[in-house]
Structure 1
Amino acid sequence: MALSMLGTKIGMTRMFTESGANVPVTVIQVGPCVVTQVKTPERDGYAAVQIGYHDAKPRRSPMPIIGHDAKAGAAPKRFHREFRVEPDEVETYTLGQELTVEQLEGLAFVDVIGTSKGKGFQGVMKRHNFAGLEASHGVERKHRSAGSIGGHATNLGTGPKPKKGKRMAGHMGAERVTVRSLDVISIDKEQGLLMVKGPVPGANKGMVEIRTPSRLYAPKARRQRETTKNAG
């Protein structure tokens, strides 16, 4: 069953397993999210569910957003996301329904999507891991430069300028990043917290999206099926 939730990245800490292993985890405050729209194949051409997260001040919200969320009986939300579902799963969602971290029970792995930290304008060594030029004499203070960016018909771009996608200096970070198949370590229902193994994109207090894994390798897929079966 496809599912997507919104939350806030709290920060990183560590937890100890029953065997005494030290596991680094990221704590995420999940939801509560409100179902603000349910799309059906008959009316919209496809089946999907739209959720809203984090109340916004009405005076800072556009009137269309205020009216849209009011149909679900909710205050205007700052973030909205839509995720596809199977046509027979649409009936399990109702307008105004509240989704909490309990929806993620039975999942051994999740995908987390966030916006990476912005690094500003960076050179090719930091942005693309270039080795740089020689550090010896004769380089004329160009040790961290990219070197030549053209030649041979601008690297077979067959044009008078560098082809699109040429790795050069520029803005780094502040991009959508997806981390796949993170282990779910623990879920705290009372406080609405989700603990996943390892880091997730973005700064603390940033919005992240948690969804069911889009693809799993065979060992993780078997573990996911076992966890779902035990939860059911």
Structure 2
Amino acid sequence: MDKVVASAADAVADVGDGASLAVGGFGLCGVPTVLIAALHDRGARDLRIVSNNCGLDGRGLGQLLAAGAIARAMGSYVGDNKEFARQYLAGELEVELMPQGTLAERLRAGGAGIPAFYTPAGVGTQVADGGLPWRYAPDGTVAVASPAKEVREFGGREYVLEEGIRTDFALVRAAVGDRHGNLVFDKAARNFNPLAAMAGRVTLAEVERLVEPGQIDPDAVHLPGVFVQRVVELTPEQAADKPIEKRTVR
């Protein structure tokens, strides 16, 4: 039952080339930066990433992107990541964008064993009709486009069929975790982390504070340990490393 591993490097040791990963975080909030850095150091290539966004240039998933380690990205937000945009437009990166709520539900559905579901989001657009450019050719033409999806009517309204997402691994970050893998997330850092953890067949969690089993009130658990296979305890310095994506002062 003790799921704590010695280091982040040990946690990602079996993440091989071509692996698919669901990664928690939004912008730079709640991002498992230590596990991502360990994966970068390991040198895994051709990774297929499912995450709301791909971090910033050189931060979070931006590290893997800059190293050319990501072959495909599924998400809902590009943000200010210039390298992400460059690779996509140059045909170096395949990108599947979708509505943010659809991404969240696809991750949750996959983790709950639901193969697909219907949603009104995207009906009447290229999300449902197909034709979104997933990958460009070097000459700027569309090399791979999204396929059309099934649309059905329920109660007089149209809905598009979306498939649940399952990945080989998931990387998440929590404020508190115990040795059994039960996790608690802090405020907005909760974002996509529980959903990503559910979607991964093997979930790796870095925790800012490790406690013993029973020290977390069961009513306070945001993600049960059944969804987590490995836990990495962060150092105080690693736990305090929380950059701000856009600092606003008055």
Normalised by the shorter chain, which TM-score bucket? under 0.3
Which one scores higher on RCO, CA 8 angstroms, separation ≥ 6?
1
**Which is higher, the Rg of structure 1 or of structure 2?**
1
TM-score, with normalisation over the residues of structure 2?
A: 0.23
Which structure dedicates a bigger proportion of its chain to helix? Answer: 2
TM-score, with normalisation over the residues of structure 1?
A: 0.24
